């Protein structure tokens, strides 16, 4: 079979398993676990080379899995018997096991038996045989099947371990399945991506998918898609640029997709946040302009407005809150009402801070200036009710009446009297 076709099939398998298992590591907030296992796996890979005369991939799978599970057991042991944080323990195991692996590679007497082990450090698709592809495919199908079968228990255990126990799930068994899946995903992918970079394909696609959706089902599907695209591009790039291993290209591709998602994500993207910030700033400047115009005794000329306010006039005109006539800027009835309600929010909040929270009256203006843009109408009326509908703020300034007649104190009293009359 064509070597490129074998590499493409293998890359698809690797993308599927890493994309499917990665989200579970992400929701458990132990993304560093993949990095720890991928580095701790190196002694297992070397042991597999030493035990198999013809580089039997199943033997390497077995020894690598055994060493990885031992590393996980050691991690849990360190967490139980020491006061070290989990990430610190992971760092210790990562460095220790990887150091042992490098030391074993450097041992001169084993150089003949370890021929080809370098491919497991950075990944090398071009050296895959038909047997390797069969082995990786069978192992990948096993991992995908287990991930699908245990999907619900894995999710429940990740989000609420106590609830999972109440449902009858064994926490120990589900955690064992999870760690086994992560281990197998890394063991299977290590020859293609490399020991050093394999964890990136486990974590980056899942992290990228999280920027695009909050649904676990969609997150998994998107993660698989990104991992597949990254793997295929990495393999094809490595095929046409033979001097570059597949692992770095896969990682770079996944990282570029992550960067694009960080910028353009419809939910958490930088571009959306930037636009939302601009809209918010424009709204606040519009509010300030309305209050400034309201407090002016005479309608000012356009040239007399502060430059920051001049930029918001177009939006205020669209809202029919101002009109420009013969060079002057005039508030409409809508604009006056909006300005009065902003002042009402500001002065009510100042009153609330001084009367209910004990703030000095000369320390409340800045806080009220921020909160007046955020308070909703029903929240304002709740504050007014708590304060017994005050007429003046702490500085003696009058508080405008509510623009909603049904929420004014007189109307509320009238409604109450009417209701009592009906009941009697």
Q: Is residue 225 part of a domain?
A: yes
The residue from 227, 253, 268 where one domain ends is 268
Q: Are 15 and 219 in contact (CB under 8 A)?
A: no
Domain co-membership, 188 together with 285? no
pLDDT for 416? 38
Domain co-membership, 161 together with 143? yes
Q: Are 316 and 284 in contact (CB under 8 A)?
A: no
Domain co-membership, 67 together with 207? yes
Domain co-membership, 321 together with 368? no
Residue range(s) defining the domain that contains residue 30 = 3-268
**Exposed (0-12), middle (13-18) or buried (19+): which is 277, by Cβ within 10 Å?**
exposed
Domain co-membership, 168 together with 300? no
Domain co-membership, 216 together with 285? no
Q: Is residue 62 part of a domain?
A: yes
Q: Is residue 85 part of a domain?
A: yes
Q: Is residue 420 part of a domain?
A: no
Q: Are 11 and 232 in contact (CB under 8 A)?
A: yes
Q: Is residue 421 part of a domain?
A: no
Q: Along the 424 residues of the chain, how does pLDDT read in single tens digits?
A: 577 888 888 889 989 999 999 898 888 877 778 888 888 888 888 888 888 766 777 888 888 889 988 998 998 898 888 888 888 888 888 889 888 888 888 776 666 677 767 777 776 666 677 887 888 889 889 999 999 998 888 888 888 777 778 888 888 888 888 888 888 888 888 877 877 788 888 899 999 999 998 888 899 999 999 999 998 998 888 888 776 777 888 889 999 999 999 999 888 889 988 888 888 888 888 888 888 888 886 777 777 777 778 778 888 888 888 888 878 888 889 989 999 999 999 999 999 999 999 899 888 888 988 888 888 888 999 999 999 999 999 999 999 888 765 455 554 444 433 333 332 2
Q: Is residue 326 part of a domain?
A: yes
Domain co-membership, 381 together with 310? no
Domain co-membership, 216 together with 143? yes
Give the Cα separation of 138 and 144 in Å (integer): 10
Domain co-membership, 76 together with 131? yes
Domain co-membership, 187 together with 53? yes
Q: Is residue 346 part of a domain?
A: yes
Q: For residue range 196-236, what is the model confidence (pLDDT) as tens digits?
A: 788 888 899 999 999 998 888 899 999 999 999 998 998 88
Q: How many independent structural domains does the chain possess? A: 3
Domain co-membership, 371 together with 341? yes
pTM of the model: 0.72
DSSP-assigned states of every residue in 102-119? HHHHH-GGGTTTTTTTTH
What is the three-class DSSP state of 322?
Answer: strand
Q: Are 153 and 174 in contact (CB under 8 A)?
A: yes
- Residue 342: which of 291, 406, 397 has the closest Cα? 291
Q: Are 49 and 64 in contact (CB under 8 A)?
A: no
Q: Is residue 415 part of a domain?
A: no
Domain co-membership, 79 together with 179? yes
Q: What is the CATH number of the domain that holds 77?
A: 1.10.3470.10
Task: Tell me the chain's radius of gyration from C-alpha atoms.
Answer: 33
DSSP secondary structure letter of residue 297: S
Q: What is the CATH number of the domain that holds 399?
A: 1.10.10.10
């Amino acid at each position: 079979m064509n070597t490129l076709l074998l590499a493409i099939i293998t890359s698809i398998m690797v993308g599927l398993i890493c994309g499917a298992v990665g989200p579970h590591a992400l929701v458990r907030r132990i993304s560093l676990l993949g990095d720890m296992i991928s580095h701790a796996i190196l002694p297992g890979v070397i042991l597999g080379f030493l035990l198999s005369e013809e580089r039997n991939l199943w033997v390497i799978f077995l020894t690598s899995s055994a060493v990885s599970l031992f590393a996980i057991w050691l991690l849990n042991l360190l967490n139980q018997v020491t006061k070290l944080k989990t990430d610190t323990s992971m760092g210790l195991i990562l460095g220790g096991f990887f150091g042992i692996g490098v030391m074993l590679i450097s041992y001169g007497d084993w150089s003949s038996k370890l021929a080809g082990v370098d491919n497991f450090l950075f990944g090398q698709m071009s050296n895959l045989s038909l047997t390797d592809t069969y082995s990786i495919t069978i192992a990948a199908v096993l991992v995908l099947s287990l991930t699908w079968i245990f999907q619900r228990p894995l999710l429940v255990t990740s989000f609420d371990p106590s609830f999972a126990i109440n449902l009858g799930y064994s926490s120990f068994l589900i955690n064992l399945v999870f760690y086994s899946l992560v281990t197998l995903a890394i063991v299977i992918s290590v020859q293609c991506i490399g020991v050093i970079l394999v964890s990136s394909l486990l974590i980056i696609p899942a992290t990228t998918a999280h920027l695009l959706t909050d649904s676990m089902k969609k997150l998994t599907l998107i993660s698989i898609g990104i991992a597949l695209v990254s793997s295929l591009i990495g393999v094809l790039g490595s095929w046409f640029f033979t001097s570059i291993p597949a692992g770095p290209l896969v990682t770079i591709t996944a990282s570029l997709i992550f960067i694009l998602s960080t910028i353009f994500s419809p939910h958490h993207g930088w571009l959306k946040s930037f636009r939302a910030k601009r809209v918010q700033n424009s709204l606040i400047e519009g509010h300030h302009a309305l209050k400034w115009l309201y407090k002016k005794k005479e309608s000012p000329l356009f040239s007399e407005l502060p430059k920051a306010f001049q930029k918001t006039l177009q939006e205020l005109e669209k809202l029919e809150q101002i009109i420009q006539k013969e060079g002057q800027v005039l508030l409409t009835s809508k604009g006056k009402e909006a300005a009065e309600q902003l002042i009402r929010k500001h002065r009510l909040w100042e009153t609330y801070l001084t009367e209910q929270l004990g703030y000095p009256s000369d320390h409340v203006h800045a806080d009220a200036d921020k909160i007046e843009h955020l308070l909703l109408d029903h929240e304002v009326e709740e504050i007014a009710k708590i304060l017994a509908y005050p007429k003046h703020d702490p500085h003696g300034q009058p508080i405008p009446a509510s623009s909603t007649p049904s929420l004014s104190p007189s109307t509320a009293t009238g409604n109450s009297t009417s209701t009592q009359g009906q009941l009697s």
